Structure 1
Amino acid sequence: MKDQLNFCDSYFQYNRLKTDPVNVGNVIIGGDNPVIIQSMTTTNTLDTLATVEQGIKISEAGGELVRITTQGRREATNLEFIKKGLMERNCTVPLVADVHFNPAAAEIAATLIEKVRINPGNFTGGAKKFKEVVAGSEKDQEGLRQIREKLVPFLRLCQKHGTAIRIGTNHGSLSDRMMSKFGDTPEGMVESCMEYLRICKEEDFKNIVLSIKSSNTRVMVHTVRLLVAAMKREDMRYPLHLGVTEAGSGEDGRLKSAVGIGALLSDGIGDTIRVSLTEPPENEIPVAAMLVEHYGKRAGHVPVPPVETDFYSPFKYQKRSTHQVVNVGGEMPAAVVVDVRGKPIISEGMETPEIVICDHDQLSGLPESWADVIKVVPAESYEDSSSVVYPLFEVDENWISQEGALFLECRNSDLTAGMKELLKEKKNVVILLESDHPNNTADRRAFFLTMQNEGLTHPVIVSQTYDECTDEDFQLKSAADSGLLFLDGYGDGIALTGFLQSVPIMVSTGFGILQASRVRFSKTEYISCPGCGRTLFDLQSTTAKVRLQTGHLKGLKIAVMGCIVNGIGEMADADYGYVGAGPGHISLFRNRELVRKNIPESAAVEELVQLIKNNGDWHDPVD
């Protein structure tokens, strides 16, 4: 296990993972070059003008690569005219053909544009037949031979034309061979990628970028780490493209992307990124740019003092064991904490937090609906008058003599030998873990590891304050900073404070990050793809309709997928799926099982609602 942990240079200092540079037209991915931002057109690839216009919008927004879906030979051939149209408009952004199921289309594209994306799960063998393939059997060996027969000529063609490729493995499209041998697992995703890489290495083909994606942030992060560790064992240094597939739209899509992509960028992994939103593609670029800038500021920081990492589990979720204090820790769901000191309190239409930090004189002005919410007040004004009010201490105050439960503001640097002994003596403490270190994620990771090393099981709430920034920047930065911790099983709650942010924004961001990190589901989760030339209906308006009808439901996962390419697999976690089946027609799924086929699009949202009702998962919205 120790050598496998070497998926990044350091757990305690930000360093970019060393990769070999790959030229894609006038852009270089990997090496010492900045992280490249990209997006994908949603237009019909045969509509040259519309695709050119959208490519220009992406480029003008700051996109440095533009990917275009390339279903077949006609679409591949038309890439030449799209490229020409862009050049005529003085747009030199490199193009990437996105190919599924059609090696012939990939070969045409390789002669016309700078890069081709192929998916190991779809490149050979056609559509999934969901047949069992025994590992090592003749059928298994034949599958590998088919890959070699299709891949080697393609690599030689790319070598001849100076074309780069992306080997892009998706959670939703593993081949029958991989599914039979590994199941729907990170190990299967990694091996799917590695067997292609081994052939590339044998052919001495080096112009490769890798991606390994999922709509499940936990799967996505742990799988990319596994891939990096596998490459290191086989002496490979290919650059990596990061993204959370089908992240959705609005606040939810941004938080989910920031959690997944941020967790990897935090450890220096990632040479190019795409934020997949069910919105116009140019909207993705500022989100990606903010994440790149956020982590770029960490370069050269003072290292966090290293600690033993024996308890760290980077390849699978392993929740840190804690005991319960008040309503935090143990088997309790991760708590949302809000600090309302100095802020007007608006509770209408807002989710209710578990804990509120306030000044003593604010207690009487809290909303009636918060009657059962735990209240925490600064220790100097605390009066032992209520079973739901607790004192908040700083480490330099006399907290050890306080009787009963208390909350304690603490930093990693406070965890001295003396502090550890005090915590061993006093168990009924909830720690509010803050950080003023430039790399606050690594700083907190060290704190959690120290607690585990010392056998300290106190519940810990991840707490961070952000200075003057917009609501979107507040949400992206907080999700990026804390996502890694929750994905790895650290944190019994979250407390976010924004200098300019309202109480509802702070609360909704807390709930959103916990959901994006998959530790607590408090609302409907939408797994919706951003759309592309394969999309068979208007994704943005349809997703909005589905949200309007189902947004009041709690804890359900609903997938809205433009086509079947990744549909069934990427919605593996979804309770219900709404998937394009053909022009103007939709198929409905429940738990990956097809239950209604080829429904007219005009009736499909109502049919989805009826399906949810028929299975007992519906309740009417509360006025």
Structure 2
Amino acid sequence: MEPLIKSLDSRYCDSLTQYSRRRTIPVNVGDVIIGGENPIVVQSMTTVDTMDTLGSVEQCIRMIDSGCELIRITAPSIKEAENLRNIKSELRKRGYQTPLVADIHFTPNAAELAARIVEKVRINPGNYADKKKFEVIDYTDASYAEELERIRERFLPLVKICKENGTAMRIGTNHGSLSDRIMSRYGDTPLGMVESALEFLRICEDEKFFDIVISMKSSNTQVMVQAYRLLVQKLNEGGFKPYPLHLGVTEAGEAEDGRIKSAVGIGTLLEDGLGDTVRVSLTEDPEFEAPVARALIDRYATRGGHASIPEIRHYPITPFEYNKRHVSELYNFGGHHVPRVIADISKVEKITDREMKAVGHFYLPELDKWKMNDLGSDFVYSGSNPIPFMLPNGMKEIQDVSVWEKTPDQVNKFPLFHLDQYQEASRFHSELNFLEVADTEIDQVIPAVTGRKDTILILKTSNVHSMPALRRAFVSLLDAKCDLPVVVKVSYQDQSADMTMLYSATDVGGLLVDGLGDGILISLEKEGEHSRQEVLGQIKLHNTVSFGVLQAARTRMSKTEYISCPSCGRTLFDLQETTAMIRKRTDHLKGVKIGIMGCIVNGPGEMADADYGYVGSGKGKITLYKGKEVVKKSVPSEKAVDELINIIREDGMWNEPETI
């Protein structure tokens, strides 16, 4: 398996340095065109029961008003598929022409009916005509071919109906619902995801049906990014048509975590020109999803005019699998260490314990000691405003070198240099120095740090094409075999909290998923007058976003992770309320991953990455999982959270929450 992936050409996009949107065939979905030279399309999915016609229509209208251009509705059985006709009719009566998509799992007959009613159907190759019993089966080539022929027979009627009715199709692979057959041959891998889709795509092409969009979704951003890249490479290699891509991180979660996780996966691909339609999956009302998707997409409206970046002639990174850049251990950076968070408090003139609280460190005067929460930053950058009190144990201060040279304590505080200062310096810290450099200076930096084992690079760029510009600098370091740790620095002046989340998750997260970066620093940039409270708010935001980006990229797990689906008409309980309830009881379990799924479709498969699972299995009934294993069935919902906690406790993963 590994040699096959390594043998592939690593070029999965038009350019690694020049923004260029991948050219695809156009696919008509009603009056909306996905792909070709058309703008990227925003879509979302309803959460109301599909049999509630007026409720679905009202929610569709709210979604459309929020910017949704394509609406997906679940059709788990024939009756829901038939009711799509009523929903569509009522929308058209009210003057809304937005195309509808039927979401299908397990039920080919529902898909065949829906394809005659709506403009597009989504099928999941893992469960449309395949089996999922979590069994490992040793297929021979002959038995595997027999299974493919069975799938062809089951799938062909839908292909013909779509072709006859001008209905588009999305072949939507989900990482967690790969069939036993695919798992047995390819394993739980991006390659398995791609091959699952290509098997169905070959059947479509044999029938000369090309109105197809493809997706490779996962709740693991590394897997998601790798799978889309590998899909594009395989389409090119196999002589397939360049089909449009539907981008999404499945089960991203809610609020800040959901936005950051979505941006790490979706934004990373958009940076390289991949993606033709976007759905952000949040455990919130669906009208809140479209604005987030639009914010991600709009960033590329004028990207084509960015400053030039030197071409990458040889890409030393395998983009289809995760390999962390080899970095020497220096202080608590590199080596086996997780990426570090540096909090910027340099714009605060008189630093107090309030700034420390904003970055996760709390002074308790009654005990005369410090405590730290799970989001306590590792370093603080004070710039030219030195901190006038003793810092909490474990936190270290970085100062501008001009200040550090005058400080009495040159052991426990560390200097930050710019390149000219570094080149001219006669005195350095014996263990740890920080050198802030722009991507355009990297060729000058390399000879200056060659042979040094006391310097951390803080890498930044002013190029609007930020992630590729920073990535290009990493390539120069790799080519020069420079193994110093690198902290990625980004800054966003006076923009909303949402934009800071989305942009930093894209610019830094896109590097982290490729194993690049040993820390993050979101710079405290400000223009005009700001109150101290506003500055403190920014400091706190940047700190929480920094930890969120590291967690979303799967490089540092600092808090409980909730893999929760965005709800749909199949959901058997109030997902938002339930997620909030579970979070309230478990959000102190650092690094534990809990899947919260509304139904069996998004159950043990979609939460493949979770340690524990809470899945709706009937009205008022919950099934509890440890990994993919069912532990308790038909638990009454009012007792289910307590039972989940008991399972975690029995597994030795529970600890009591502390109060600060």
Q: Same fold, TM exceeding 0.5? A: yes
CA RMSD of aligned residues (A): 1.5
Contact 1:394–1:409, Cα closer than 8 Å, also in 2:
yes
- TM-score, structure 1 normalization: 0.97
* Partner Cα separation in structure 2 for residue 588 and residue 139 of structure 1: 34
* Partner Cα separation in structure 2 for residue 491 and residue 341 of structure 1: 22
SS at match of 1:166: strand
* Partner Cα separation in structure 2 for residue 288 and residue 361 of structure 1: 39
1:528 CA displacement: 0.2
Partner of 1:573: 609
Letter in 2 for 1:212: M
1:387 aligned to 392, 411, 415, which one? 411
1:402 CA displacement: 2.8
Task: Write out per-residue CA displacement over residues 438-492 of structure 1, whole angstroms, 9 at most, x where no aligned residue.
Answer: 1110111111111011010111000011111011111111111111100000000
Structural mapping, 1:121-132, within 5 Å: 121-125=126-130, 128-132=132-136
Partner of 1:346: 355
2:478 pairs with 1:452: yes
Greater shift in the superposed pair: 531-540 or 337-346: 337-346
Partner of 1:377: 399
* Partner Cα separation in structure 2 for residue 384 and residue 15 of structure 1: 52
* Partner Cα separation in structure 1 for residue 215 and residue 234 of structure 2: 14
* Partner Cα separation in structure 2 for residue 535 and residue 568 of structure 1: 15
Contact 2:346–2:524, Cα closer than 8 Å, also in 1:
no
* Partner Cα separation in structure 1 for residue 222 and residue 293 of structure 2: 19
Contact 2:132–2:180, Cα closer than 8 Å, also in 1:
yes
* Partner Cα separation in structure 1 for residue 589 and residue 479 of structure 2: 41
* Partner Cα separation in structure 2 for residue 3 and residue 599 of structure 1: 48
Task: Write out per-residue CA displacement over residues 37-60 of structure 1, whole angstroms, 9 at most, x where no aligned residue.
Answer: 000001111110111011111101
2:313 pairs with 1:321: no
Contact 2:386–2:399, Cα closer than 8 Å, also in 1:
no
Partner of 1:547: 583
Letter in 2 for 1:222: Q
Contact 2:309–2:472, Cα closer than 8 Å, also in 1:
yes
2:517 pairs with 1:508: no
Task: Write out per-residue CA displacement over residues 359-411 of structure 1, whole angstroms, 9 at most, x where no aligned residue.
Answer: 35431157x5x343121111111136242201111112144533323101111
Contact 1:134–1:140, Cα closer than 8 Å, also in 2:
no
Greater shift in the superposed pair: 609-618 or 545-554: 609-618
* Partner Cα separation in structure 2 for residue 573 and residue 154 of structure 1: 31
Contact 1:308–1:450, Cα closer than 8 Å, also in 2:
no
Structural mapping, 1:342-491, within 5 Å: 342-343=347-348, 345-348=354-357, 350=360, 351-365=375-389, 368=391, 370-382=392-404, 383=407, 385-399=409-423, 400-403=425-428, 404=430, 405-416=432-443, 418-491=444-517
Task: Write out per-residue CA displacement over residues 137-156 of structure 1, whole angstroms, 9 at most, x where no aligned residue.
Answer: 44322221121112222111
SS at match of 1:535: coil
Partner of 1:175: 179
* Partner Cα separation in structure 2 for residue 332 and residue 512 of structure 1: 17
Letter in 1 for 2:268: A
Percentage of pairs with the same residue: 46
Contact 1:133–1:139, Cα closer than 8 Å, also in 2:
no
Greater shift in the superposed pair: 225-234 or 289-298: 289-298
- Flag the 1:76–1:552 CA change in 2: closer, same or farther, 3 A: same
* Partner Cα separation in structure 2 for residue 520 and residue 372 of structure 1: 18
Partner of 2:370: none
Structural mapping, 1:266-305, within 5 Å: 266-305=271-310
SS at match of 1:346: helix
Partner of 1:93: 98
Letter in 2 for 1:374: K
Greater shift in the superposed pair: 568-577 or 103-112: 568-577
- TM-score, structure 2 normalization: 0.91
Letter in 1 for 2:163: Q
Structure 2 gap segments, 5+ residues each: 1-5, 361-374, 527-536
Contact 1:96–1:115, Cα closer than 8 Å, also in 2:
yes
Letter in 1 for 2:545: T
2:53 pairs with 1:51: no
Task: Write out per-residue CA displacement over residues 394-442 of structure 1, whole angstroms, 9 at most, x where no aligned residue.
Answer: 11214453332310111121122x4322211433111110100111101
Task: Write out per-residue CA displacement over residues 485-539 of structure 1, whole angstroms, 9 at most, x where no aligned residue.
Answer: 0000000000012436521111111000000000000000000000111111111
2:223 pairs with 1:199: no
* Partner Cα separation in structure 1 for residue 542 and residue 491 of structure 2: 10
* Partner Cα separation in structure 1 for residue 303 and residue 182 of structure 2: 38
Partner of 2:563: 527
1:121 CA displacement: 0.9
SS at match of 2:387: helix
1:227 aligned to 223, 228, 231, which one? 231
Contact 2:346–2:385, Cα closer than 8 Å, also in 1:
no
1:2 CA displacement: 7.1
Greater shift in the superposed pair: 275-284 or 603-612: 603-612
SS at match of 2:604: helix
1:301 CA displacement: 2.0
* Partner Cα separation in structure 2 for residue 299 and residue 2 of structure 1: 31
2:317 aligned to 312, 315, 334, which one? 312
- Flag the 1:138–1:426 CA change in 2: closer, same or farther, 3 A: closer
Greater shift in the superposed pair: 564-573 or 274-283: 564-573
2:603 pairs with 1:558: no
Contact 1:494–1:510, Cα closer than 8 Å, also in 2:
yes
Superposed structure 1 runs of 4+ greater than 6 Å apart: none
Partner of 1:16: 21
Partner of 1:143: 147
Letter in 1 for 2:427: Q
* Partner Cα separation in structure 1 for residue 501 and residue 54 of structure 2: 36
* Partner Cα separation in structure 2 for residue 74 and residue 90 of structure 1: 25
1:243 aligned to 240, 243, 248, which one? 248
* Partner Cα separation in structure 1 for residue 136 and residue 622 of structure 2: 28
Greater shift in the superposed pair: 204-213 or 131-140: 131-140
- Flag the 1:498–1:62 CA change in 2: closer, same or farther, 3 A: farther
